[in-house]
């Protein structure tokens, strides 16, 4: 078996055409979906990057593996945590990555026989083209072997600098419109704006229409999509497309102008937690869309299953291999959510409702709890915490019981980080001293 896991950083599902987006951002990813199975409700339960990837590799919730915040100085991966690549390597599978997460935390590279960072010792985030520049020759060298290959392009992540041909593709307005629906002043009024002013807004002057920045995000997706197409064509040319399982997903999404924290990934809102999962390969049913909820913890068990390897009992996810081959997938009734980087919050999502519980308002200063009726308010515009207290209480009780059962006698990592201060609060203090 050959497996390629493509993890496009910061890719929210609803900005892909195959997930219903109004702009044609993803023709090549759409084709992948037509040839395989698409999960309509796939979630990143622990955001952002470092918690999410730890969850992907371990098949465990953050409440178990303990990594609930990005760039935390107090969180370390516990010894004995199950790890996908270590298990595959032990089973004799060739493991390789084109990635830079090992620059962030030491636990992301163990288990890889070959680990390539396209931009070593640089602060930049590599593009899908730069990933392909390494991955395509690697595939040529190993086309006749079984392997697990992890590819991690960062195109849609800020500061949104797509190649020139893409920059205006999804923008229909005047970037310096004096009275746009979303002026730069809306963003400038937010506490986190100083983090992005120099690296984004200053570079784009003159600009007053934030929809132009949204269009740059979409342009980054389209650029990444083009190189996904190049990668898929390479599999065809090498004659291994029919024997290669391709999984395309993301670590988390991105907030546009729909909630506080513009153009970043704070907040347990749908734009941040609902991400794509598209799978194509041998035995996978084509053109199938599954509506049952699934999540990051399911990826490691799924990859192990497709290699015929046992799934450790310590992994908390469900393998999707049977569902990919045509079995029914009812999905989860409940998804449990955490974040502790910009703010510290817990969440619980069902098919109908979402409750967000504030532990610390962090940099953004959003106090209080939030309740959204997703079936009637999918964009989460109407907080019903005051008008539907019985629903909030029921979800809160369910969340507390689950969390306490999972923790046992261990401390809550979200609350632990809140007490120490969320990492972004430390970044904010450092920024003010400049």
pLDDT digits (tens, 9 = 90+) for 309-344: 999 999 999 999 999 999 999 999 999 999 999 999
Higher model confidence: residue 188 or residue 199?
188
Question: At which residue do the structure tokens 């849609």 appear?
Answer: 156
**pLDDT exceeds 80 at position 55:** yes
| Per-residue model confidence as pLDDT tens digits over 209-251 | 999 999 999 999 999 999 999 999 999 999 999 999 999 999 9
Question: Which pLDDT value is given to residue 120?
Answer: 74
Q: What is the mean pLDDT of residues 78-107?
A: 97
- The pLDDT of residue 198 is above 90: no
Rounded Cα distance between 401 and 296, Å, is: 22
**Residue 432 vs residue 183, higher pLDDT:** 183
- Identify whether 48 is preceded by a cis peptide bond (ω within 30 of 0): yes
Rounded to an integer, the average pLDDT of 203-208 is: 90
Evaluate if residue 170 carries a pLDDT over 90. yes
Residues 8/153, Cβ–Cβ less than 8 Å? yes
**Percent above pLDDT 70 for the chain:** 99
| Whether the predicted pLDDT of 265 surpasses 80 | yes
For residue 208, the enclosing domain spans 2-433
433 or 392: which carries more pLDDT confidence? 392
Other C-beta atoms closer than 10 Å to the C-beta of 369 total 17
Per-residue pLDDT reduced to its tens digit, 9-41: 999 999 999 999 999 999 999 999 999 999 999
The residues, ordered by sequence, that sit 6+ positions from 414 with a Cβ below 8 Å of its Cβ are 62, 68, 338, 339, 340, 344, 345, 346, 359
pTM: 0.97
pLDDT value for 431: 84
The per-residue pLDDT for 122 is 64
358 touches 366 (CB < 8 A) = yes
Q: Residue 128: what pLDDT? A: 98
**Burial call 37-62: b when 16+ CB within 10 Å, e when fewer:** bbbbbbbbbbbbbbbbbbbbbbbbbb
CA distance 129 to 225: 10
In terms of Cβ atoms closer than 10 Å to its own Cβ (0-12, 13-18, 19+), residue 350 is middle
Closest CA to 259 of 250, 248, 276, 271: 271
Query: Whole-number mean pLDDT of the chain?
Result: 97
Residues 6 or more apart from 164 whose CB is under 8 A from it?
none
Task: Detail the DSSP E strand segments found in 194-269.
Answer: 244-249
Residue 44 has pLDDT above 90, yes or no: yes
Q: Report the CATH number at residue 45.
A: 3.40.720.10
Instruction: Give the model's pLDDT for residue 121.
Output: 66
Residue 119: predicted pLDDT: 86
The count of structural domains within the chain is 1
Residue 123's pLDDT is: 62
- The model's pLDDT over 359-415, given as tens digits with 9 standing for 90+, comes to 999 999 989 999 999 999 999 999 999 999 999 999 999 999 999 999 999 999 999
Sign of the dihedral through C-alpha 395, 397, 399, 402: negative
Q: How far apart are CA 131 and CA 306, in angstroms?
A: 24
Q: Are strands 114-116 and 94-98 parallel, antiparallel or unpaired?
A: parallel
More confident residue, 258 or 81: 81
Residue-wise pLDDT tens digits, 107-120:
999 999 999 999 87
Over 90: is that where the pLDDT of 274 sits?
yes
């Amino acid at each position: 078996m050959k497996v390629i896991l493509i993890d496009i950083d910061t890719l929210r599902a609803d900005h892909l055409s195959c997930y219903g987006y109004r702009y044609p951002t993803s023709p090549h990813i759409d084709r992948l979906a037509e040839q395989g199975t698409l999960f309509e409700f796939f979630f990143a339960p622990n955001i952002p990057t470092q918690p999410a990837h730890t969850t992907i590799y371990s098949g465990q919730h953050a409440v178990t593996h303990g990594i609930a915040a990005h760039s935390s100085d107090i969180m370390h991966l516990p010894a004995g945590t199950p790890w996908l690549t270590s298990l595959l390597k032990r089973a004799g599978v060739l493991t390789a990555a084109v990635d830079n997460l090992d620059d962030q935390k030491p636990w992301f590279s163990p288990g890889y026989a070959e680990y390539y960072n396209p931009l070593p010792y640089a602060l930049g985030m590599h593009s899908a083209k730069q990933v392909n520049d390494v991955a395509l020759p690697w595939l040529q060298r190993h086309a006749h072997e079984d392997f697990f290959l992890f590819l991690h392009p960062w195109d849609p992540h800020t500061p949104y600098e797509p190649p020139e041909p893409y920059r205006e593709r999804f923008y229909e307005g005047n970037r310096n419109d004096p009275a746009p629906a979303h002026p730069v002043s809306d963003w400038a009024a937010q506490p986190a704006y100083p983090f992005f002013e120099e690296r984004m807004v200053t570079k784009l002057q003159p600009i007053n229409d934030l929809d132009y920045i949204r269009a740059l995000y979409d342009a980054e997706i389209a650029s990444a999509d083009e190189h996904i197409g190049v990668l898929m064509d390479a599999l065809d040319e090498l004659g291994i497309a029919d024997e290669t399982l391709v999984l395309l997903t993301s670590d988390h999404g991105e907030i546009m102008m729909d909630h506080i924290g513009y153009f970043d990934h704070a907040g347990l809102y749908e734009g941040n937690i609902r991400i794509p999962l598209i799978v194509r390969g041998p035995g996978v049913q084509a053109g199938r869309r599954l509506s049952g909820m699934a999540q990051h913890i399911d990826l490691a068990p799924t990859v192990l299953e497709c290699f015929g390897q046992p799934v450790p009992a310590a992994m908390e996810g469900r393998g999707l291999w049977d569902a990919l081959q045509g079995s029914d997938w009812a999905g989860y009734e409940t998804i449990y959510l955490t974040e502790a980087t910009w703010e510290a919050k817990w969440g619980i999502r069902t098919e109908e409702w979402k409750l967000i519980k504030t532990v610390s308002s962090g940099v953004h200063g959003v106090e209080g709890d939030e309740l959204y009726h997703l079936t009637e308010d999918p964009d989460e515009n109407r907080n019903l915490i005051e008008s539907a207290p019985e629903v909030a209480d029921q979800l809160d009780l369910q969340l507390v019981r689950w969390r306490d059962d999972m923790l046992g006698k261990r401390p809550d990592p979200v609350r632990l980080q809140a007490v120490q201060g969320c990492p972004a609060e430390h970044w904010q203090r450092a920024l003010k001293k400049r």
